[in-house]
A = this chain, B = another copy of it.
Amino acid sequence: MNEPCKQHYVAGDDRRTAIAAATRTLIAEHGFEGLRMREIAERIGINIATLHYHVPSKAALVELLAQSLRDEFMAQHAANPRDALSPRQLLALEIDEFEQTVLTNPGLHIVYRELMNRAARDETVRTIISPLSQFWHNQITRILEAGRADGSFRADLDPQAGASIVIGSLIQYSRECHNKEVDFAPLRAELLRCVSTPGDPRPDERKTA
């Protein structure tokens, strides 16, 4: 008979990756207040002491989680080429990438929303998540500025406020699809109408699926 599969001795970095993944899953399931060190260890099949060997404390775990989230968002954003795209196409791409992430990995955004709330009162989380949010906000702001400059977006558009509107709308939509199917198309179309110059000839902005 086979011995019970001993997965002993995994390299530290891989362990930490697995720990971050399990932490995400558990937070998505039970929220921050339901996050237990023991359950993380159990989920990846290691002893609680081994978990504390790799991640010395729960605070360090939260830090690891925040970093893991930041890394994934950054990688996601760097995946698509952005050269030679019009501002309108860039904005559409941002929306499509968000929808893609929500549908592909819904737990990611559950954890992101949880971390944003926690950032309001947790210094450590804030220093990691806040730059991420600001990067996103700047990204959208610059797209809106460019579109205003080339005339495709409204001349009286406020890029800063517009970015808050776009981001807030996307997060709101991601919240609404807790389990039911949510169609991003109406939001996508409405957001593009909101910022576009009225009466502008609208080129086909269909998704590049």
Contacting B at CB under 8 A, from A163-190, are 164-165, 167-173, 175-176, 178, 186-187, 189-190
- Contacts A164-B172, A168-B173, A199-B198: A158 and B120 contacting too (C-beta < 8 A)? no
Q: Tell me the nearest residue of chain B to A116, going by C-beta.
A: B175
Interface check A191, CB cutoff 8 A? yes
Contact residue among B162, B175, B190 (Cβ-Cβ distance under 8 Å from A161): B190
Residues of B with C-beta under 8 A to A120: 110, 175, 178
Question: How many copies altogether?
Answer: 2
Size category, A interface: 35 or more
Contact of A31 among B29, B113, B118, B186 (CB under 8 A): B118
Asked if A194 CB lies within 8 Å of chain B CBs, one says yes
B173 and A164 contacting across the interface, CB-CB below 8 Å: yes
- CB-defined contacts of A57 to chain B, threshold 8 Å: none
